[in-house]
Structure 1
Amino acid sequence: MLAGKVIVVTGAGRGLGRAYARAVAEAGAAVVVNDVDGGAAAAVADEIGADGGSAVAHAGPVGPTATADELVATAVAEFGRLDAMVTNAGVLRDRSVVKMTDEDFDVVVETHLRGTFTCARAAIARFREQGGGGRLVLVGSPAGQRASFGQANYSAVKAGIVGMARTLAAETAKHGITVNALVPVALTRMVATIPAFADAVAAVERGEPAPDELRANGVGTAEDVTPLLVYLLSDDAAEVTGQALGAGGDRITVWTHPSVAAEASRPGGWTAEGVAEAFGAELAGRLQPYVPPVAAR
């Protein structure tokens, strides 16, 4: 499905990123495997090569413009072109907001949000130089769609990534470039700190399958996310852009764009008392849930 394509996957040394890199290679793409841990990146590239695929490792922290430029340059130098970029690299610094330091906040913003921006910008520039379009898949998270206790930094950047995907899709459509946000749900170390998932993550790491109940509710392994990713990177998805699309377990999902859920109007404008009255009579029943169901139970 991806034969002849050249794809960069950031943060691909382990977890979801490793699954992404292996899946696109299996689908026929040549892969630049990036990770801040050079040994992990090299191990994944070696795995791909051992399976008959083409891959090269790139060691470097995502965030700086220099890294983004190096990733594009590596793809071109090693494989002659760049067809797609998957911005997966990320870190966690989980703490409730009163305990979160400036450094905790800044490193998450640098890696996730700035890293997505710099890599997307570098890839778009290359796509336009080459002609023929391109694919960007920016990795979001359910934490950016709903509340995630102790992750104010992570929730903020993942929400920003989905917003960035919509805007980049609008800016690049005339060049034949698609930009989508992937919202994965998988039992990896990144979710092991959530009590509801801790035992299941440990089981999956032991090589056991994800429980059927979780799979039916959209939570599975990293490999369950990869078919949607491969599709979005393929020529078949040429008309799919500006979307937030989720995958997990037995489900794929289309997330709504932010939209007005309810409204009230008053000729001549509002007073605070009028707002209070409208909330009681018209709007209170339309307020939106912000906590995911698993956390609300």
Structure 2
Amino acid sequence: MATLRVNPTPLTLRGKIFDWGQRTYLMGVLNVTPDSFSDGGEFNTQSSALAQAKYLMASGADIIDVGGQSTRPGAAEVSLEEELHRVIPVVQAIRVGGWGLENPGLETINSQSLIPISVDTTRVAVARAAVAAGADIINDISSGTFDPDMLPGVAELGVPIVLMHIRGTPQTMQQFTDYEDLIGEIYEFLERRVEAAIASGIARDKIIIDPGIGFAKTYEQNLEILRRLDEFRTLGCSILVGPSRKSFIGRILNQPDPKARVWGTAAASAAAIAKGADILRVHDVEEMQAVSRVADAIFRINK
């Protein structure tokens, strides 16, 4: 029997209403890193990052997620100064619409770009600087466990936060895939982090949960999360899923090249939508927009 869906309160960011349960929203990935698993080094200059941001928006992204620290398995941690150097100028440029400044060939967009910007970070100092630069959401893979000041800091900033399940760190997480009750343990972790966020002053309707596909999870465990994603609905928060180009798809397809996993990502995304995902964090926005529109027409009760 399906879990009863109680849609969280809609969220409004820069005039855009995220009406959970009505359709799937797409978070376009913008890694401004030299070492991310599928696109490292492609967008780590301001001009290339801005060009990609423009492309993501034109492709239908509802949110742009800027990340300056690779979280692939084994990724080395960068300094705070380096993360700030990578992330903040890009956030500023997207927010003010500085396309033509770095790339004369790009048409200038509205000087007050209204697309919501998320910043993928585990450091409150980066969160503060990013929001000051124009970011709207903090996407923390550690759920505020790596930096004890993150949850109180986000509460002060008044912005939404994504709380993701992880064990260990990106350097060690694949050593911690031994679960007695995979879904139950992820649920309990997220429940505790939601409670901690609320206790810190973050409203429940500003909390987005992410079960953390690929983070301290095996191939089989990633598939189980997708099959049972609807069990997280009772936490009362919107749900983000990030299957894009992940290694479990590569294993199914016998495809070592992450960029060649687009249609495998499409299948995983459709499955996530069927089980209640509200946001998909994806690299290939144009393709996933088509997937989500069809899947929404099939699976969403309220159209």
Common fold: TM-score over 0.5 = no
TM-score (norm 1): 0.40
Q: Which has the larger radius of gyration?
A: 1
TM-score (norm 2): 0.40
Higher helix share: 1
